[in-house]
A and B are shown apart, each in its own frame.
Chain A
């Protein structure tokens, strides 16, 4: 169990760093979406199913969707 959690946290932090590094905004948003998804799994491990559900449906799905809509209407790349 602890090993799975450690791996998940490592992937989550790597995804967050990726969101920092990526110049392509869509990729950065997808990385942030991955962060949210893994966080939602961690919420489930921490016995918070309500929060996991909210994070998955709001934090991961809807937020990513509105990010993608906004990026489509603005620049695709940083700078």
Chain B
């Protein structure tokens, strides 16, 4: 019964939506704004990756909101999981991890961290950025949890990384409000020369802050979900 009703309901929605798609032709230019970013993005922001210049400069406020959303979810998950009791010691897995797994983890962990850092440091030049790099860093921690369940991230350090990442972003935005063009989140740093690592004003700094913050938050999410596994 419920399935039938939902199918009928969905059919109406999809029909209406499908009809309106006729007004959105595939593979044609729909927006002058995208063109403007492509043409002016390099000069205005100094980044060769235009997506990065949109994410961090033109629509940087969205990204500030986005890291806030992740911050909210990580905190909320922590609050929900901690509601019944405090943080507990996690019992180690019944059988100790094999030598291969342990060695593999020890070798891979720094490599993954390095790869994540590479991704977010080069966010303004190549595909990738703070979010992708942060996710890779979190997966390095996931690997550690798979190998040695009893290891915990240092809560104070995680919180500090998380908070400082956010504070750097907001702080840079407020400095932009105070100096230069006097707009919140405006880029007041020199742009440097195109296509070099030290260019694009504050984009690399913000992406490093985001990368560390996202990595800490996602690792914290995994840590919270693993809490008190029987």
Contacts and interface: CB of A to CB of B under 8 A. Distances in A.
Q: Do A and B come from one complex?
A: yes
A26 to B, nearest CB: 16
A69 B226 CA distance: 7
Given A50-B51, A50-B128, A61 B225 contact: no
A48 B128 CA distance: 11
Interface string B107-151: 000000000000100000001110110011011001000000000
Contacts of A66: 221-222, 225
Interface in A8-61: 48-50, 52-54, 57-58, 61
Counting chain B residues whose Cβ lies within 8 A of the other chain, the interface size class is 20 to 34
Contact of B142 (A52, A58, A65, A73): A65
B136 A65 contact: no
Interface residues of A, number: 16
A53 B226 contact: no
B135 A61 contact: yes
A77 interface: no
A53 B135 CA distance: 10
B131 A54 contact: yes
A54 B139 CA distance: 13
Nearest to B123: A50
Contacts of B230: 73
B48 interface: no
A56 B138 CA distance: 14
Nearest to B139: A61
A62 interface: yes
A39 to B, nearest CB: 15
A57 B127 contact: no
B132 A53 contact: yes
30 contacts: A49-B127, A50-B49, A50-B128, A52-B127, A53-B119, A53-B128, A53-B132, A54-B135, A57-B132, A57-B135, A57-B136, A58-B131, A58-B132, A58-B135, A61-B135, A62-B135, A62-B138, A62-B222, A65-B139, A65-B142, A65-B222, A66-B222, A66-B225, A69-B222, A69-B225, A69-B226, A72-B229, A73-B225, A73-B229, A73-B230
Interface of A: 48-50, 52-54, 57-58, 61-62, 65-66, 69-70, 72-73
Interface of B: 49, 51-52, 119, 127-129, 131-132, 135-136, 138-139, 142, 218, 221-222, 225-226, 229-230
